[in-house]
Amino acid sequence: MAIDFSFPPEIDALRLKMRDFVTEVVRPAEALVAEREGDRRFLVKSIIEMRVAAHDWGLWLPHMPAEYGGMGLGHVAMAAVSAEAAKSAFGPYAVNAQAPDEGNMHTLLHWATDVQKEKYLRPLCNGVARSCFAMTEPEVAGSDPTLIQTRAVLDGDSWVVNGHKWFISGASGAKFAILIARTEEDPEIPQAANSAFLVDLPSTGWNVVRDVLTMAGHHNHAEIRIENLRIPRENIIGSRGQGHLLGQARLGPARLAHCMRWIGQAEVALDMMVDRALKRFAHGSLLSEKQGIQWLIADSTMELYQCKLMVLHAAYKIDRGEDFRSEVSMTKHFVANSLGRIVDRAIQVHGALGYSLDTPLARMSQQARWARFADGADEVHQWRIAQRTIDAYKRDSSTRAATGDLPL
Ligand SMILES: Cc1cc2nc3c(=O)[nH]c(=O)nc-3n(C[C@H](O)[C@H](O)[C@H](O)COP(=O)(O)OP(=O)(O)OC[C@H]3O[C@@H](n4cnc5c(N)ncnc54)[C@H](O)[C@@H]3O)c2cc1C
């Protein structure tokens, strides 16, 4: 039989090593940081120490090739280690596989010139630089990048850019941005209007207005006014009009990387739900003995099982160079929604404790909320999924190809 649901021994060993690393190194550091909330210097020191430890454990940069100091794992193997790393919010940072840097690394690896790779990708991989990805604008729907208003105009050897961005994660303190701006006035197709640029930071004309305050507090999601920013002509990534193509190529694996981390979070929530149900006594029995609570556990278990299968299958398709767009869309939608439901059920079983900040559940719930619209809103994914299903039926008189094209 060709289908094998086990990992090769060396990948399984890495998965377990990542679990031990998170238990022995990351979780204790996370607890110390929580005790000193607001102490930014201590936070930075702790992340540096975790990163040194990640090198010692052989767990640095799992998603990048050895040429850049990484472990060279494919997407399926990444699913194994990433879900373990994400069981602590700091895990991905410790191994340098956090958003948005992870997605930016993939973008640069596949699209940048050799010179751009040396200047921008290598420092990112070495952990001495951070980056951001600047696409969304407050004035137009982020779901539709053909509406982007930020403009880049060629002037001699420079692009001159004017525009307005917001929710740019990690912008403060980033050494560079990948900026998406409109360069083509009359493209053949609307998707070919934008181009991607590398912007050194800080730069004159790149003005951070504020850190947008969200329901989860301040998390370095910046609003940026771009005024007569000059970017060297050679800092374009790919060619003119390829911004959308590049964004899509980036977003597929980046969306799946989010799903891998969300699986780790969902598993923590389910573990906590069961642990609490086994310990809390009310109305004559433990919560775990009550059917109402068992339903919450059962629904969460079934959903998490589906999440894992979907992530592994989408990762498998990316690794094999097959068209993964539909599978990543379905996976992103399903995992984002499952995460929200599972965390919410865990909060329910914990009662007031779940609503407090004494457990990680409340913070996980805030993160789970944005998962449903960032990197593709639910409805946009549903629209695309339905389109592909209808197309498959029109083509084959069957919807089979749209349901993962599995041998069933
Ligand atoms: C925590 C966080 C971090 C982020 N980080 C970044 C970042 O680093 N860089 C960056 O560029 N952006 C970032 N974003 C922005 C994010 O990518 C956008 O929020 C997302 O693309 C949606 O765009 P929007 O917010 O403008 O919503 P809109 O596009 O205005 O959509 C709002 C709602 O409209 C509905 N909708 C939209 N299109 C359709 C449709 N075709 N059919 C049916 N309904 C539809 C959906 O319900 C959607 O949720 C971040 C956002 C958050 C919350």
407 falls within a domain: no
Residue 224's pLDDT is 98
Q: Mark whether 250 and 398 lie in a shared domain.
A: yes
Task: Look at residue 157 and tell me whether its pLDDT is greater than 80.
Answer: yes
What is the tally of structural domains in the chain? 3
**pLDDT, average across residues 371-395:** 97
Q: Establish whether residue 43 lines the binding site of ligand 1, counting it when its CB lies within 6 angstroms of any ligand atom.
A: no
119 falls within a domain: no
Q: What is the CATH number of the domain that holds 168?
A: 2.40.110.10
118 falls within a domain: no
- Of 269, 169, 165, residue with least CA distance to 216: 169
Ligand 1 centroid from CA 67, angstroms: 35
Residue 151's pLDDT is 98
Q: Mark whether 164 and 135 lie in a shared domain.
A: yes
Q: Mark whether 336 and 389 lie in a shared domain.
A: yes
Task: Look at residue 249 and tell me whether its pLDDT is greater than 90.
Answer: no
Q: Establish whether residue 366 lines the binding site of ligand 1, counting it when its CB lies within 6 angstroms of any ligand atom.
A: no
Q: Mark whether 91 and 146 lie in a shared domain.
A: no
Higher pLDDT residue, 191 or 236? 236
Residue that is last in its domain, among 218, 237, 256: 237
Q: Dump pLDDT digits (tens) for 381-392.
A: 999 999 999 999
Q: How far is CA 63 from the centre of its chain?
A: 13
Residue 376's φ and ψ, nearest 5 degrees, are 100, 110
4 falls within a domain: no
Predicted confidence band at 244 (pLDDT cuts at 50, 70, 90)? confident
Q: Dump pLDDT digits (tens) for 269-288.
A: 999 999 999 999 999 999 99
Predicted confidence band at 154 (pLDDT cuts at 50, 70, 90)? very high
Q: Establish whether residue 167 lines the binding site of ligand 1, counting it when its CB lies within 6 angstroms of any ligand atom.
A: yes
Q: Establish whether residue 218 lines the binding site of ligand 1, counting it when its CB lies within 6 angstroms of any ligand atom.
A: no
Q: Establish whether residue 143 lines the binding site of ligand 1, counting it when its CB lies within 6 angstroms of any ligand atom.
A: yes
Residue 75's pLDDT is 93
Task: Look at residue 211 and tell me whether its pLDDT is greater than 80.
Answer: yes
Q: Mark whether 221 and 251 lie in a shared domain.
A: no
Residue 92's pLDDT is 96
Cβ pair 146, 130 in contact under 8 A: no
Taking CA atoms only, the protein residue closest to ligand 1 atom 12 is 136
Q: Mark whether 144 and 289 lie in a shared domain.
A: no
Q: Mark whether 271 and 355 lie in a shared domain.
A: yes
Q: Establish whether residue 166 lines the binding site of ligand 1, counting it when its CB lies within 6 angstroms of any ligand atom.
A: no
Predicted confidence band at 248 (pLDDT cuts at 50, 70, 90)? confident
Grouping H, G, I as helix, E, B as strand and the rest as coil, residue 203 is coil
* H-only helix segments in 242-321: 243-279, 291-319
Cβ pair 152, 195 in contact under 8 A: yes
Residue 8's pLDDT is 93
Q: Establish whether residue 168 lines the binding site of ligand 1, counting it when its CB lies within 6 angstroms of any ligand atom.
A: yes
Residue 219's pLDDT is 87
213 falls within a domain: yes
Ligand 1 centroid from CA 33, angstroms: 31
Q: What is the CATH number of the domain that holds 77?
A: 1.10.540.10
Residue 68's pLDDT is 97
* CA–CA separation, 270 and 287 (whole Å): 14
Taking CA atoms only, the protein residue closest to ligand 1 atom 37 is 143
Ligand 1 centroid from CA 231, angstroms: 27
Task: Look at residue 247 and tell me whether its pLDDT is greater than 80.
Answer: no
Taking CA atoms only, the protein residue closest to ligand 1 atom 21 is 142
State percent of the chain over pLDDT 90: 92
Q: What is the CATH number of the domain that holds 384?
A: 1.20.140.10
* CA–CA separation, 111 and 253 (whole Å): 14
152 falls within a domain: yes
Residue 401's pLDDT is 95
Residue 281's pLDDT is 98
Cβ pair 348, 340 in contact under 8 A: no
* CA–CA separation, 366 and 265 (whole Å): 12
Q: Establish whether residue 221 lines the binding site of ligand 1, counting it when its CB lies within 6 angstroms of any ligand atom.
A: yes
Q: Mark whether 249 and 398 lie in a shared domain.
A: yes
Residue 27's pLDDT is 96
**pLDDT, average across residues 187-201:** 94
Torsion of CA 99, 100, 101, 102, to 10 degrees: 60
Predicted confidence band at 51 (pLDDT cuts at 50, 70, 90)? very high
Q: Mark whether 326 and 207 lie in a shared domain.
A: no
Among 139, 167, 221, residue to substitute to test ligand 1 (most atoms within 8 Å of Cβ): 167
- Per the prediction, the chain carries an average pLDDT of 95
What is the number of alpha carbons within 13 Å of residue 306 lying toward its C-beta?
A: 18
* CA–CA separation, 249 and 117 (whole Å): 17
Q: Mark whether 338 and 253 lie in a shared domain.
A: yes
Tokens encoding 9: 């021994």
Task: Look at residue 125 and tell me whether its pLDDT is greater than 80.
Answer: yes
Predicted confidence band at 91 (pLDDT cuts at 50, 70, 90)? very high
Taking CA atoms only, the protein residue closest to ligand 1 atom 28 is 141
14 falls within a domain: yes
Using CA atoms, how far residue 285 sits from 274, 294, 313, 320, 346, in Å, is: 15, 13, 41, 51, 19
142 falls within a domain: yes
Q: Mark whether 278 and 334 lie in a shared domain.
A: yes
Residue 251's pLDDT is 73
Q: Dump pLDDT digits (tens) for 18-45.
A: 999 999 999 999 999 999 988 989 999 9
Residue 3's pLDDT is 83
Q: What's the predicted TM-score (pTM) here?
A: 0.94
Atom of ligand 1 nearest to the CA of 370: 53
Q: Establish whether residue 150 lines the binding site of ligand 1, counting it when its CB lies within 6 angstroms of any ligand atom.
A: no
Residue 37's pLDDT is 86
Predicted confidence band at 303 (pLDDT cuts at 50, 70, 90)? very high
Q: Mark whether 250 and 376 lie in a shared domain.
A: yes
* Domain coverage including residue 269: 245-402
Tokens encoding 406: 């599995």
